Structure 1
Amino acid sequence: MSPDDLLAALDPEQRAVATAVRGPVCVLAGAGTGKTRAITHRIAYGITTGVYKPGNVLAVTFTARAAGEMRTRLRGLGAHGVQARTFHAAALRQLGFFWPKVVGGPPPRLVEHKAQLVAAAATRVGLPADRTGVRDLAAEVEWAKVGLVVPDDYERVVAAVDRTVPGGHDAQAVARLLTAYEQVKDERGVIDFEDVLLLLAAMLAERRDVAEQVHEQYRWFVVDEYQDVSPLQQYLLDQWLGGRHELCVVGDPSQTIYSFAGATPQHLLTFPRTHPGAQVVRLVRDYRSTPQVVALANDVITVARGRGTVAPLELRAQRPDGPPVRFTAYDDDEAEAAGVVASVRRLLASGVRASEIAVLYRTNAQSEAFEEALASAGVSYQVRGGERFFARQDVREALVLLRGGARAADPDEPMPATVRDVLRSAGWSDEPPAARGAARERWEAMQALVALADELAAANPRARVADLVAELDERAAAQHAPTVEGVTLASLHAAKGLEWDAVFLTGLSEGLVPTSLAEGEAAVAEERRLLYVGVTRAREHLHLSYARSRLPGGRPTRSLSRFLVDLWPGQVRRAVPSDDDPRATERVAGQLTRWRDAHARATGVAPARVLTPSLLQAIARRRPASLEELAQVPGMGQQRLATIGADVLEAVAGAVRVTPHEFR
């Protein structure tokens, strides 16, 4: 493609990105605004105009799927030879290359899961090593490492950021665990995923010859989803750059949803200061969603203004009108699952493909009800967020069978027919099994291979089984799984980066969205961004729902998510007192502090476990008079509400009775 051809396919803002081939560039790209299109055209334009050599470009992103999509698009634009990888894949490749030279011998074995190592470290320092505890501690180990928090600094850092230590453990104990974890790894001669980045960054920082070789190889960098970069990833990126500024970053602060894992949007927000003279381009034309969906997305995220956050990008819909957003309150979880599946069946009957429908929820535990309802209705589905497609044992077995089938295939038989015959012995059949579970998941995986064979044959009628095997090998290397023709069930986190024609956002009640575990305004703000991500996954059909009760016939104790009270038809927002009197806030905060400290002494827990400082101040500012008003305080959560809600209200009321003139 000529340079003019490349630019002709872009809108004015995307064209500004594509032509900014030199110097630092920051692209603030809203959901559905074509950011991948813009940055791949930028790379292709730089190559076509002779500014870049393909082998000197490194594009990094956060998921293998996104990296595979970027490589596919670059090939389609004629930009062959560009490296597009995840941070870890790029670092692992370089570490494997330099390790024999710098250290000698092969690099240590990489462990994919920390559980056994963390369990051994926990036992060593006297912490419980049960399954749940180990999982939480493993997440804390990852948070510390990606945040570049060393064991000696752990106590200070968690206190500074008001972070809740997992499992109610003492911060000193977790600091000892971090030290023991590193000792266990060293003794076993293994490294984890964070070590890959740490070790490579250390090599680049300490070995000038290694840094010079990398700097000579990679001269132009592109980082996608930059709002999710961690301090560790930024440190490695700094070593890759070596003081240069030939960097293009793309991100959206409104889609920062991985702070719990160490991600921070600060690198994106401060980019113009870190890289003086940076060109900033905003992409706000939404090509994904209808005006109805875009309007709701803007309303959901705009409420965050005035809370110390950067004003979000306001999307402008480019598609024609679509159906209105649907809002439904169900009596219970079972009724919600049944109602959602009934709507799914209507969409299928209208011609929407099952693979273009998604049911999203806050936690993975919510999937079971929808799995049962879909299976009972005979609707195919897949659950995202589980084992990787190409890591499944049944998929690996199918690939072995297909390799054999490629050698023995009848050249006169159509390739899809041969594939179907081969995969029958691997669990595929013309009709899916009725029950859910392992058998159904196996069939869905085999059906994805069959569908891919059909796609290849449609594109190239002369394609053979060997061509399918080659395609699968390439996809396996890139972890680019084929599409399963079924309704997608996924958590809101797992849905990031994906999109569907129809999306059902379910379980939108307090305690779920935001989760009751969200403590403090920052955590609640991230929950709002998570809902925004869910809304922006929908192209045309968007259904929002929640259940008033968990069980059929149960008391309707659930309330609508605070994020939707102003937006849900027929709802009246509860008035919340404003912080119009600092003296009143100080008085209530003092009363709450005295009650909290006494309660902490009586129960033998740290005061911050009862009420964190930020939560205490938020309650003091709002001065709730009922449990419903208290539930609206960010970070309160259903568990706290149930255990100490009445006592908190009494403490607040006590301060009000003492100084009634301050509360008129």
Structure 2
Amino acid sequence: MRLLSHVEASPEQMRILADTRPGFHLVRGAAGSGKTTTALLRLRQLCATRLNRRERLQQEEPVRVLVLTYNKTLQGYVAELARQQVSGSAGLVLRVATFSKWAVDMVGNGGLVDRVRTRPVIRSLASALPLPDDFIVDEVEYLMGRFRPEDIEEYLTARREGRGQAPRVDRALRKRLLTEVVSPYISHKEKCGWRDWNDVAIEAGRAGGQPVWDVVIVDEAQDFSANQVRTISAHVSGDHTTTFVMDATQRIYPRFFTWAEAGVQLTNAHVLRSNYRNTRQVAAFARGLVEGLPHEDDGALPDFLACDRDGPVPAVAVGRFGDQVHYAIRRLRNDIDLTSESVAFLHPKGGGWFDYLRQVLASEGIAWCELTRASGWPSGPESVALSTVHSAKGLEFDHVFMLGLNQQVTPHGDEEGDAMLDMLRRLLAMGVGRSRKTVTLGYKADDPSTLIDLLADGTYEEVRV
């Protein structure tokens, strides 16, 4: 599976690379604006600057560099690229990891439980609340990740930006959530000897005796929680340079917080406006999915006016799932060069939802690899990747297929401004934005996802298969 090709820094990126001052920096931009590329170029520049200073001052301590990503798939991808940027540098210690792995290495994984264990407990405790189960689970994750344990009562009066307009959660419901769900959940964890991922983040932030980091790059920072950001801040050197790279429009987890409340005072904020990845047609298609969502300060809409390339109009295949798959295979055979181009099949759920696709790819003799939760970037010759949309965050491919977009795989509430629908809109737009050349969506005519209705007229071609 191909990595990003070598690129020269643009004038827009050069301005960011030139800012090597200590402190916290923010780089934000829409999908396709080169955020990950900029982060890696900045990594190389900051490492060179620090190494030169180390040699000039004849310092013995190495320059310690930390690159953090949100998930394993992106970690494997970024790790390969990061090592290409700074490989062979004497006097430099480079660590590329997910936040979770980095934190666990500090505090251990004893008693650690994942969402498969915690979510049923939260749902059971919340059974009397007049809110959807999935929404409550996300709300609990949101508030516990945003506030320190000792400050959890601040949830009662805090602004709930980034969580949608519905369901409405007034002060009375917030109080019930704290007393009927959060407090019993914390007690349940203590009784069972459980630690969840937020506990690990908090413990890691308080862990003493840890080495500090001189250069830190945090990619896809919009999906880090406030407690995770506090932990990062607790382990940087006195003259660190830390860069958060993000786009709030692509936030797909309930993580909203302000930099100030997380204890971060930004030295500078940089904006990437050009779209280097997408064609004008792909960017226009993605923009229609998120246009009208609540604006967030660190977000940016996909901008087709900022693209410099044209390409085919995205296709939307309508028919039975098997027919969608065989349409995609014909595209692979007739329109795509698998010796030089990359292809991603993305799906909101993944796993067993890819079973039929795997069978067809195998019968056609088309090699593929799985990206979801992969801790290392695939090094084989495969040009076709299968992944959940979540795991594709930060990646890019020449061609993107998202088939089987039926209502069953995109459930949400019915109220205007529903938080789950807003999240799904961001998720689908993020998946579309992974494409450099073409996008193909697919759905069954008698069970379309409501997201299909949000596609902007004139931005795609419907194909009956």
TM range (shorter): 0.7 to 0.9
CA distance 1:570–1:539, change in 2 (3 Å): closer
Where does residue 34 of structure 2 map in the other structure?
A: 34
CA distance 1:121–1:491, change in 2 (3 Å): closer
Q: Which one of the candidate residues 46, 56, 65 is aligned to 1:57?
A: 65
SS of residue in 2 equivalent to 1:77: helix
Where does residue 338 of structure 2 map in the other structure?
A: 352
Q: Which one of the candidate residues 93, 99, 116 is aligned to 2:105?
A: 93
Where does residue 275 of structure 1 map in the other structure?
A: 265
Q: Which amino acid aligns with 2:331?
A: S
Q: Which one of the candidate residues 313, 327, 331 is aligned to 1:343?
A: 331
The answer to whether the aligner puts 1:294 opposite 2:293 as a matched pair is: no
SS of residue in 1 equivalent to 2:243: strand
TM-fit CA distance, 1:26: 1.6
Q: Which one of the candidate residues 558, 561, 566 is aligned to 2:457?
A: 566
TM-fit CA distance, 1:300: 4.0
* CA distance in structure 2 between the aligned counterparts of 1:519 and 1:126, rounded to whole angstroms: 20
Where does residue 199 of structure 1 map in the other structure?
A: 203
* CA distance in structure 1 between the aligned counterparts of 2:126 and 2:424, rounded to whole angstroms: 34
Q: Which one of the candidate residues 344, 349, 354 is aligned to 1:363?
A: 349
* CA distance in structure 1 between the aligned counterparts of 2:11 and 2:230, rounded to whole angstroms: 33
The answer to whether the aligner puts 1:327 opposite 2:328 as a matched pair is: no
TM-fit CA distance, 1:20: 0.7
Structure 1 residues without counterparts, runs of 5 or longer: 1-7, 96-106, 205-209, 390-477, 551-556, 572-664
* CA distance in structure 2 between the aligned counterparts of 1:72 and 1:234, rounded to whole angstroms: 24
Q: Which amino acid aligns with 1:238?
A: S
Q: Which amino acid aligns with 2:48?
A: T
* CA distance in structure 1 between the aligned counterparts of 2:318 and 2:432, rounded to whole angstroms: 20
The answer to whether the aligner puts 1:73 opposite 2:68 as a matched pair is: no
Map residues 145-160 of structure 1 onto 2, 5 A cutoff: 145-148=144-147
* Bigger radius of gyration among the two: 1
The answer to whether the aligner puts 1:83 opposite 2:89 as a matched pair is: no
User: In 1, are the aligned partners of 2:68 and 2:217 still within 8 Å (CA)?
Assistant: yes
User: In 1, are the aligned partners of 2:143 and 2:155 still within 8 Å (CA)?
Assistant: no
CA distance 1:271–1:281, change in 2 (3 Å): farther
Q: Which one of the candidate residues 215, 223, 235 is aligned to 2:218?
A: 223
Where does residue 515 of structure 1 map in the other structure?
A: 411
TM-fit CA distance, 1:564: 0.5
* CA distance in structure 1 between the aligned counterparts of 2:274 and 2:148, rounded to whole angstroms: 39
User: In 1, are the aligned partners of 2:315 and 2:461 still within 8 Å (CA)?
Assistant: no
Where does residue 4 of structure 2 map in the other structure?
A: none
Q: Which amino acid aligns with 1:111?
A: L
SS of residue in 2 equivalent to 1:287: coil
CA distance 1:234–1:494, change in 2 (3 Å): same
User: In 1, are the aligned partners of 2:432 and 2:439 still within 8 Å (CA)?
Assistant: yes
The answer to whether the aligner puts 1:497 opposite 2:388 as a matched pair is: no
TM-fit CA distance, 1:480: 3.9
- % identical equivalent positions: 23
Q: Which one of the candidate residues 216, 228, 234 is aligned to 1:233?
A: 228
SS of residue in 1 equivalent to 2:318: strand
Map residues 127-276 of structure 1 onto 2, 5 A cutoff: 142-143=141-142, 145-148=144-147, 171=177, 173-175=180-182, 177-186=184-193, 191-203=195-207, 210=209, 214=211, 217-241=212-236, 246-259=241-254, 263-264=255-256, 266-267=257-258, 275=265
> 1:167-224 CA distances to partner (integer Å, 9 max, x unpaired)?
xxx84553364134322443xxx644333221122345xxxxx4xx64xx32443222
User: In 1, are the aligned partners of 2:281 and 2:314 still within 8 Å (CA)?
Assistant: no
TM-fit CA distance, 1:252: 1.1
* CA distance in structure 1 between the aligned counterparts of 2:154 and 2:186, rounded to whole angstroms: 11
Higher relative contact order structure (alpha carbons within 8 Å, sequence separation ≥ 6): 2
Where does residue 173 of structure 2 map in the other structure?
A: none
* CA distance in structure 1 between the aligned counterparts of 2:77 and 2:357, rounded to whole angstroms: 29
Q: Which amino acid aligns with 1:109?
A: G
> 1:70-93 CA distances to partner (integer Å, 9 max, x unpaired)?
444344334542333322232233
Could you say which structure has the higher strand fraction? Answer: 2
> 1:217-238 CA distances to partner (integer Å, 9 max, x unpaired)?
3244322212112122122133
* CA distance in structure 2 between the aligned counterparts of 1:560 and 1:89, rounded to whole angstroms: 34
Could you say which structure has the higher helix fraction? Answer: 1
Aligned residue pair count = 423
User: In 2, are the aligned partners of 1:54 and 1:82 still within 8 Å (CA)?
Assistant: no
Where does residue 548 of structure 1 map in the other structure?
A: 445
User: In 2, are the aligned partners of 1:355 and 1:488 still within 8 Å (CA)?
Assistant: no
Q: Which amino acid aligns with 2:411?
A: T
SS of residue in 2 equivalent to 1:57: strand
Structure 2 residues without counterparts, runs of 5 or longer: 1-6, 55-60, 170-175
TM-fit CA distance, 1:533: 0.9
* CA distance in structure 2 between the aligned counterparts of 1:173 and 1:158, rounded to whole angstroms: 19
CA distance 1:15–1:54, change in 2 (3 Å): farther
What RMSD, in angstroms, separates the aligned Cα atoms of the two structures?
4.4
Q: Which amino acid aligns with 2:17?
A: A
> 1:446-474 CA distances to partner (integer Å, 9 max, x unpaired)?
xxxxxxxxxxxxxxxxxxxxxxxxxxxxx
* CA distance in structure 2 between the aligned counterparts of 1:11 and 1:83, rounded to whole angstroms: 27
* CA distance in structure 1 between the aligned counterparts of 2:441 and 2:319, rounded to whole angstroms: 14
* CA distance in structure 2 between the aligned counterparts of 1:560 and 1:525, rounded to whole angstroms: 10
Q: Which amino acid aligns with 2:357?
A: F
* CA distance in structure 2 between the aligned counterparts of 1:526 and 1:558, rounded to whole angstroms: 14
- TM-score, normalising length: structure 2: 0.73
Q: Which amino acid aligns with 1:249?
A: F
> 1:237-293 CA distances to partner (integer Å, 9 max, x unpaired)?
33235897743211112211122xxx22x446x7999525x3222223333233332
TM-fit CA distance, 1:139: 7.0
* CA distance in structure 2 between the aligned counterparts of 1:154 and 1:114, rounded to whole angstroms: 25
